[in-house]
Amino acid sequence: MKDVEVVTIKSIELKNPILIEGLPGVGHVGKLVAEYLIEELEAQKILEIYSPHFPPQVVVNPDGCVRMVKNEIFAYTSDDVELLILIGDHQSNTNEGHYLLTETFIDIAKQYNVKRIYTLGGYGIGQLVENPRVIGAVNDISLVEEMKSYGVEFSENEPGGGIIGVSGLMLAFGAMHGIEAVCLMGVTSGYLVDPRSAQAVLRILREILGIEIDMDALEKRGKEMETIVARLKEMEQMQGETEPGTTIAPEDALDYIR
Amino acid sequence: MKDVEVVTIKSIELKNPILIEGLPGVGHVGKLVAEYLIEELEAQKILEIYSPHFPPQVVVNPDGCVRMVKNEIFAYTSDDVELLILIGDHQSNTNEGHYLLTETFIDIAKQYNVKRIYTLGGYGIGQLVENPRVIGAVNDISLVEEMKSYGVEFSENEPGGGIIGVSGLMLAFGAMHGIEAVCLMGVTSGYLVDPRSAQAVLRILREILGIEIDMDALEKRGKEMETIVARLKEMEQMQGETEPGTTIAPEDALDYIR
Amino acid sequence: MKDVEVVTIKSIELKNPILIEGLPGVGHVGKLVAEYLIEELEAQKILEIYSPHFPPQVVVNPDGCVRMVKNEIFAYTSDDVELLILIGDHQSNTNEGHYLLTETFIDIAKQYNVKRIYTLGGYGIGQLVENPRVIGAVNDISLVEEMKSYGVEFSENEPGGGIIGVSGLMLAFGAMHGIEAVCLMGVTSGYLVDPRSAQAVLRILREILGIEIDMDALEKRGKEMETIVARLKEMEQMQGETEPGTTIAPEDALDYIR
Amino acid sequence: MKDVEVVTIKSIELKNPILIEGLPGVGHVGKLVAEYLIEELEAQKILEIYSPHFPPQVVVNPDGCVRMVKNEIFAYTSDDVELLILIGDHQSNTNEGHYLLTETFIDIAKQYNVKRIYTLGGYGIGQLVENPRVIGAVNDISLVEEMKSYGVEFSENEPGGGIIGVSGLMLAFGAMHGIEAVCLMGVTSGYLVDPRSAQAVLRILREILGIEIDMDALEKRGKEMETIVARLKEMEQMQGETEPGTTIAPEDALDYIR
């Protein structure tokens, strides 16, 4: 077995698509957005990526069928925009695997003549977030102003400590190969799967891409989340002695916890 | 030393055997069943598998002799059925090792023209199990109904989080090579070596394979286990304040704990 | 991607330079000194070193631009001295990576005809340090007396347990290739980034190299640190029951904690 | 750098020596015995073994000189016996490294025509040991009786859980290459460096090898140890509530704790 194996599901030709990455991470923000895009746009799968650097397990579908842990790339084309969307079950489980997989993703981007990459993630701040914000990082200074015009925030100390995993590495590898790349991070607690943060990211991404996306389903999930957050706060207030920043999860919230 | 080394102990020819995997895992359910099968059927060892991905230790036999950690494949043939049974001391200790070893097992399956694989395991639920159940996962949707007819349960949320290790990976690799595969998981606490759960798995497997197996010895071990479980419960009741789901092990139970 | 990739930024020729290593480590002592040297001497970057053995993340600059984790070598030449200075964001995240990277650093040292190496680090003693001291280790016994003449201390039991990471390995690999090497370790608590310890190391290194370096900026950071240490001690005294060696960090100190 | 590098320090020819392994492990029992043998017999170093699988650090000698972590083989020859003695600073820090290094050791054994191997270790039982015992494991059943005649104990349940590291793997690899091998384990608490246990192992090994070894120095260290153990027991008795099996270390004992 090779370190990374790419299986072509469907051959397509693209002029200069935009690549969007939404692998699992903090608050599953990127994953929520990327999967939502694929569903709403009815994007088509073109590639599957396998690697012994993924966790040594399989995913069990609700119907009882298992499948290998994998990453996948979907394609969507319209008159206005060409998109490649990278999603997956897991990121690498080994140190070198992160580098090897990112290298593969950038190779793929080059094959399809990708002109720009957006990697999506969450930025965990350790406490519940009142007002969803999206912070950014780029691989070329010229992108900062452009992103600010869409409402992406840049501040000196966020994110502190760097960006871990593929969302960060793709910017660095992209720069090496002359591909512009932006990381959009929804600010989130880091404790819960966060559809509200995903909503904030999607709203900005939608504007950047200039595409129409019905956000109803994601908004509905976000509202459920708000109800839970409200209850979490009530519980915190009732417990006067709770340390700042700690969170108590009511049973309803458990579905959102990863 | 190669990543995986296969040593042939006995050359045999088979038409289209069924491969059963029972490596160590949750509750040692799979291991108990597979070893019991080998003993009762007097299966013969045909292959030994060595790897530097196994834990760096040796096994000490009761007579004081040590041997390398290994996986082994045994063969049993009768007029009705041909079986290959995979057992072992340990699974891989490294991430890549799980993939490399599974790949080897599937290569072996193809060499012997295996038509179907059953991987055996335990599904830990974190509390003592009243009524033994066997849940399933498959690598082809057509197998679900067949398995249900033998009493294997399929539910949307079990197992949550996927199947870790060789028992899961063999289904995924099998699918890639056109070999039907089923994972049978005995529901178990996850705290104890569980012969009662093994019994439930063996009962179903026996029916699937259409073979006669005397279950007396395994039943005896299961009964001992029930006595221990009964005592565990008494102890729990006496301690009113015990948290739900926690288990106190009396000394007799220690032999069953791994 | 190769295990270690060296990118030449600027070609230079040197006669027999001294190599100074200051990668991140205990108290960031070595890193503080090496970065300070580069800044004050206006050394020029000549090499960048990349590796999949570094942590799988990127560094985000204050301006929002990310860059790959890397190690870098800077050069400084004057009439009196030629210096190569090795700094970086991280050391290897894998066991083998430490060896592979050190091997590369020594290869580079040989290419530039390096005659002596100074590796800089911190030696954590688990409690606040009253009087900054610098202890040493060498790869040739003849260096001990020379170092003592500069105030470097050598004692039988310091450092106990060896020197971990590149600062240690470069001495051992250097010895194998006939390059004299000294490790200078600023004694530090191990809890805080320690500019005072860095100052003590730089003072000795400056004398060894016979170069002029304005230490004002580092002294200023050191003084801030002393204020914090003084407050830490007050707080310790107020809490009579504090265990010896434990440290309470006031909020101002947090910027110094890594 | 190769996975394992063997450097010849002195070329010698041997007829059919016995190989003794005493790398660091539980209670440093094996290491104490092997180092004591080298010192008392004035054995000569013939080989050094280096590997990037050792921990990424260097050892600092009391004189301030560092050296690479390594394993070493010493040779001793007399009219009666030829010995190769394997010692070292550390065992492998990676899973595969244990296998690769053991393979190298067995290759070396074959080159020197080794007829028998003794690996030395400690068997930790989690409480202070009253009467030093030595338990054994072998790689050929015929060796059990021979070892028993020297006072080595064999019991069905000791050691439970196998033998971890080179001491175990050398027996298994030895068996594969037709070299008889015995593991002698001094029973020890597992908390302390244990010269008394080392004494028990050496006493048996001395008889097996038929060599004269002055045990005075080791006995002296053993007596110091007994004093410490006596004090530990007093302290336990004074603290009526101490849980059975727990150990309180007085300051004098710290030198013995690893």
Q: What is the mean pLDDT of residues D39-48?
A: 97
ipTM of the complex: 0.86
C116 CB neighbour count, 10 Å cutoff: 17
Identify the closest residue of chain C to A102 by CA–CA distance: C56
- Give the model's confidence band at A234: pLDDT under 50 very low, under 70 low, under 90 confident, else very high: confident
% of chain B with per-residue pLDDT over 70: 91
Q: Is D54 within 8 Å of D44 (Cβ atoms)? A: no
Smallest Cα distance from D195 to chain B, Å: 25
Name the residue facing C141 among D59, D65, D93 (closest C-beta).
D65
Instruction: Give residue A125's Cα distance to chain centre.
Output: 17
The answer to which of A146-160, A227-241, D20-34 has the lowest mean pLDDT is A227-241
- Give the model's confidence band at D234: pLDDT under 50 very low, under 70 low, under 90 confident, else very high: confident
Smallest Cα distance from B66 to chain D, Å: 5
Residue A245 domain-assigned (yes or no) = no
Q: How many domains does chain D have?
A: 1
- Domain CATH number, residue D166: 3.40.50.10900
Residue D257 domain-assigned (yes or no) = no
Print the SS3 string covering C91-113: CCCCHHHHHHHHHHHHHHHHHCC
Identify the closest residue of chain D to B95 by CA–CA distance: D95
Asked if chain D contacts chain C via 3 or more Cβ pairs within 8 Å, the reply is: yes
Alpha helices in C21-117 (DSSP H): 29-41, 95-111
**Residue D123, pLDDT above cutoff 70:** yes
Q: C interface mutation test: which of A171, A176, A177 has the most C CBs within 10 A?
A: A171
What part of C 225-244 touches D (C-beta under 8 Å)? Answer: none
- Give the model's confidence band at D186: pLDDT under 50 very low, under 70 low, under 90 confident, else very high: very high
The answer to which of B42-51, C40-49, D218-227 has the lowest mean pLDDT is D218-227
CB contact under 8 A, A58 and B171: yes
Cα gap B141→D6, rounded to integer Å? 55
The answer to which of A102-116, B96-110, B238-252, D173-187 has the lowest mean pLDDT is B238-252
Q: List pLDDT tens digits, range C1-12.
A: 899 999 999 999
Please list, residue by residue across D152-184, b when 16 or more beta carbons sit within 10 angstroms of its beta carbon and e when fewer do.
Answer: bebeeebbeebbbbbbbbbbbbbbeeebbbbbb
CB contact under 8 A, C139 and D66: yes
Residue B101 domain-assigned (yes or no) = yes
- Give the model's confidence band at B227: pLDDT under 50 very low, under 70 low, under 90 confident, else very high: confident
pLDDT confidence of residue C181:
98
Q: List pLDDT tens digits, range A15-53.
A: 999 999 999 999 999 999 999 999 999 999 999 999 999
Instruction: Give residue B90's Cα distance to chain centre.
Output: 12
% of chain A with per-residue pLDDT over 90: 73
- Give the model's confidence band at D3: pLDDT under 50 very low, under 70 low, under 90 confident, else very high: very high
**Residue B253, pLDDT above cutoff 80:** no
**Residue C238, pLDDT above cutoff 90:** no
Going by DSSP bridges, is the β-strand pair B57-60/B66-68 parallel, antiparallel, or unpaired? antiparallel
Q: What is the mean pLDDT of residues A202-215?
A: 94
Q: List pLDDT tens digits, range A102-141.
A: 999 999 999 999 999 999 999 999 888 888 999 999 999 9
Residue C229 domain-assigned (yes or no) = no
Amino acid B224 reads E
pLDDT confidence of residue B224:
82
CB contact under 8 A, A139 and C1: no
Smallest Cα distance from B195 to chain A, Å: 25
What part of D 40-59 touches C (C-beta under 8 Å)? Answer: 52-53, 55-59
pLDDT confidence of residue C239:
55
| Separate counts of helices (H) and strands (E) for chain C | 6, 11
CB contact under 8 A, C68 and A176: yes
pLDDT confidence of residue C198:
95
- Give the model's confidence band at B59: pLDDT under 50 very low, under 70 low, under 90 confident, else very high: very high
pLDDT confidence of residue D252:
36
Smallest Cα distance from D51 to chain C, Å: 9
pLDDT confidence of residue D230:
78
Residue B235 domain-assigned (yes or no) = no
**Residue D258, pLDDT above cutoff 80:** no
Q: What is the mean pLDDT of residues B91-118?
A: 97
Full residue range of the structural domain in which residue A161 is found: 5-218
Residue B222 domain-assigned (yes or no) = no
The answer to which of B166-180, C137-151, C232-246, D109-123 has the lowest mean pLDDT is C232-246
Which residue, among B35, B98, B42, B97, has the nearest Cα to B72 in the 3D structure? Answer: B35
Asked if chain D contacts chain B via 3 or more Cβ pairs within 8 Å, the reply is: yes
pLDDT confidence of residue C226:
78
pLDDT confidence of residue A239:
55
**Chain pair A-C, CB pairs under 8 angstroms:** 74
Sheet bearing A82-88, strands edge to edge:
A5-8, A44-50, A71-77, A82-88, A18-21, A116-124, A180-188, A134-138
- Give the model's confidence band at A199: pLDDT under 50 very low, under 70 low, under 90 confident, else very high: very high
Q: Is C136 within 8 Å of C152 (Cβ atoms)? A: yes
Q: Is B73 within 8 Å of B108 (Cβ atoms)? A: yes
- Give the model's confidence band at D237: pLDDT under 50 very low, under 70 low, under 90 confident, else very high: low
CB contact under 8 A, C66 and A141: no
Q: Which residues of A are less than 8 Å from B183 in CB distance?
A: 66
Q: List pLDDT tens digits, range B140-195.
A: 999 999 999 999 999 888 887 799 999 999 999 999 999 999 999 999 998 888 99
Asked if chain A contacts chain B via 3 or more Cβ pairs within 8 Å, the reply is: yes
Q: What is the mean pLDDT of residues D35-45?
A: 96
Residue D221 domain-assigned (yes or no) = no
pLDDT confidence of residue A237:
66
Cα gap C183→A73, rounded to integer Å? 49
- Count of alpha carbons within 13 Å of B71, Cβ hemisphere only? 32
What part of D 134-163 touches B (C-beta under 8 Å)? Answer: 136-141, 144, 154, 156-157, 159, 162-163
CB contact under 8 A, C164 and D55: yes
A220 Cβ neighbours under 8 A, 6+ residues apart: none
The strand pairing partners of B192, in sequence order, are B257
pLDDT confidence of residue C258:
32
Q: List pLDDT tens digits, range D150-175.
A: 999 998 888 877 999 999 999 999 99
pLDDT confidence of residue C252:
36
**Residue D96, pLDDT above cutoff 80:** yes
**Residue B81, pLDDT above cutoff 70:** yes
Identify the closest residue of chain C to A162 by CA–CA distance: C59
Q: Which residues of D are less than 8 Å from C140 in CB distance?
A: 65
Please give the structure tokens belonging to residue A138.
Answer: 């780029």
Q: List pLDDT tens digits, range C167-176.
A: 999 999 999 9
Residue D254 domain-assigned (yes or no) = no
Name the residue facing A64 among B99, B137, B169 (closest C-beta).
B137
* Residue at token pair 């001992």: B224
* Residue at token pair 């991070």: A185
Q: Which residues of A are less than 8 Å from C63 in CB distance?
A: 141, 144, 154
Check if C62 contacts A (Cβ < 8 Å): yes
Asked if chain D contacts chain A via 3 or more Cβ pairs within 8 Å, the reply is: no
* Residue at token pair 């693209």: A14
pLDDT confidence of residue C220:
87
Which residue, among A165, A136, A208, A186, has the nearest Cα to A33 in the 3D structure? Answer: A186
Q: Is B182 within 8 Å of B205 (Cβ atoms)? A: no
Please give the structure tokens belonging to residue C135.
Answer: 């202890």
Q: List pLDDT tens digits, range A62-89.
A: 999 999 999 999 999 999 999 999 999 9
What part of B 162-181 touches A (C-beta under 8 Å)? Answer: 162-165, 168-169, 171-173, 175-176
Q: What is the mean pLDDT of residues D80-96?
A: 97
pLDDT confidence of residue C130:
86
Cα gap B84→B118, rounded to integer Å? 10
Q: What residue ranges in chain A does DSSP mark as E strands?
A: 5-8, 18-21, 44-50, 57-60, 66-68, 71-77, 82-88, 116-124, 134-138, 163-164, 180-188
Smallest Cα distance from B55 to chain A, Å: 16
Cα gap B142→D227, rounded to integer Å? 72
* Residue at token pair 């935009």: A18
Q: What is the mean pLDDT of residues C122-132?
A: 90
CB contact under 8 A, C95 and D53: yes
% of chain B with per-residue pLDDT over 90: 74
pLDDT confidence of residue C237:
66
